[in-house]
Amino acid sequence: MSDATEDGVSEVVVTENPVVGNDLIISAEHLTLRFGGVVSLRDVSIEMRRGEILAVIGPNGAGKTSLFNSLTGVYQPQEGSIIFTPAGAAPLSVIGKKAYQIARAGVSRTFQASRLFMALSVFENIKIGAEDHRGIGLVGALVKGPGTRRGEHRSDEVVIELLDFVGLRNEANLIASQLSYGARRRLEIARALATDPQVILLDEPAAGTNPSEKLELAELIRRVRDERGVSVLLIEHDMKLIMSLAERLYVLNFGSVIAEGSPDEIRANQAVIDAYLGSSHEEAS
């Protein structure tokens, strides 16, 4: 617990939530991501503890989604390191890995604009997530041996369990595009959970949903952590939602971390207020 002594916050969090472990599940250090001359992330360091609900907030263009894309292998930061430590397995360096390799290792995600397989049914969407995409050969898929059939059976069970978990059991045969926005968000979470992840990254899960759907989503996200033991990293703009859900927050602005702490600390942080409302020192030009 050498890290936790640096800030009293994390100790408080640990005592409040026994689910949260003390070891780091994701540790990103000094990430810098550039696109040509544009610096999207500047020396960003993030530590995520096993079992916590961690949030990243910041104004538009602050680099939140870039951070997510870096953590999941979609973007490759030019500098820095990302270490993902799955339970009961050796730590894994994320940088240089492909997105699908990271997904298989146990880091799953949803997308800002939901990216479901819109022409497929709810069931099929989750099933594609639940299936093992590792060792399929052509012959294995064609000759439906006992192994293949067992795999099918297992993934069907996972799908049904997840349909119940996110409350889409009755919509299983609907086409994804027929769902309401709130239901799409839940489906995306279910698909991400189908890969049996240890960390789930949710990119604005409540975007485009109505207030009652927001409450349901918050409840669902909490259950993802409490019932399934999946650590949650979350980007969200709805402050009420995030303050009630997150145990710890990072605030990004212009690609840099400007604050880190508990919801109460962040609320009181002058740099954060400046970032959101504009600072009084700035010249009005």
Partner 1 sequence: MTIISPANLKRLFLILIVAAVVAIMTGTPGSSTASPTTGVHGSFMERVSWFGLFAAPRWLLFLTLGVIVWLLVSLYRPRARTIRQGIDHVLAFPKELSSRKPTRVTLIVIALVVVILLPKFVHESFWMYLIVEQIGVWILLALGLNVVVGFAGLLDLGFAAFYAIGAYTTAWLTGALPMPALFHHPIPTLWVIPIGILAAMVFGVLLGTPTLRLRGDYLAIVTLGFALIIDDFVETQSGVTGGGVGSSPVPHPSLNVGFWHFHWGISQTPYYYLCLIFVVVFIIVFTSLEHSRIGRAWVAIREDEVAAESVGINPLKYKVMAFAVGAASGGFGGVMSAGLVGIITPGLFTYQVSVNVLVLVIFGGMGSIWGVALGAIVIQTATSYLDNYQPWGYQINDLYMYIGALLIIMMIFRPAGLLPSRRRRREFAMAEGGEEMHTDEVLSGEQP
Binding region for partner 1 (CB under 8 A): 72, 74, 98-100, 103-104, 108-109, 111, 115-120, 124, 127-129, 131-134, 136, 138, 141-142, 144, 148, 151-152, 175, 177, 191-192, 194-195
Shortest spacing between CB 128 and partner 1, in angstroms: 5
Q: At what angle do helices 146-166 and 122-130 cross, to 10 degrees?
A: 120
Shortest spacing between CB 119 and partner 1, in angstroms: 4
Query: CA dihedral defined by 155, 159, 161, 166, rounded to 10 degrees?
Result: 150
**All residues at 6 or more sequence positions from 193 whose CB lies less than 8 Å from its CB, including other chains:** 108, 129, 162, 165, 200, 224, 228, 230
Using the minimum distance from each CB to partner 1, give the nearer residue, 64 or 248.
64
Using the minimum distance from each CB to partner 1, give the nearer residue, 42 or 228.
228
Using the minimum distance from each CB to partner 1, give the nearer residue, 234 or 275.
234
Shortest spacing between CB 141 and partner 1, in angstroms: 4
- Measured from the Cβ of residue 242, the count of other Cβ atoms closer than 10 Å reads 21
Contact 120, 176 (CB under 8 A): yes
Using the minimum distance from each CB to partner 1, give the nearer residue, 39 or 74.
74
3-state SS of 79-144 is EEEEEECCCCCCCEECCCCCHHHHHHHCEEECCCCCCCCCCCEHHHHHHHHHCCCCCCCHHHHHCC
Using the minimum distance from each CB to partner 1, give the nearer residue, 129 or 182.
129
Using the minimum distance from each CB to partner 1, give the nearer residue, 132 or 219.
132
Shortest spacing between CB 27 and partner 1, in angstroms: 21
Shortest spacing between CB 39 and partner 1, in angstroms: 23
Contact 207, 219 (CB under 8 A): no
Shortest spacing between CB 38 and partner 1, in angstroms: 21
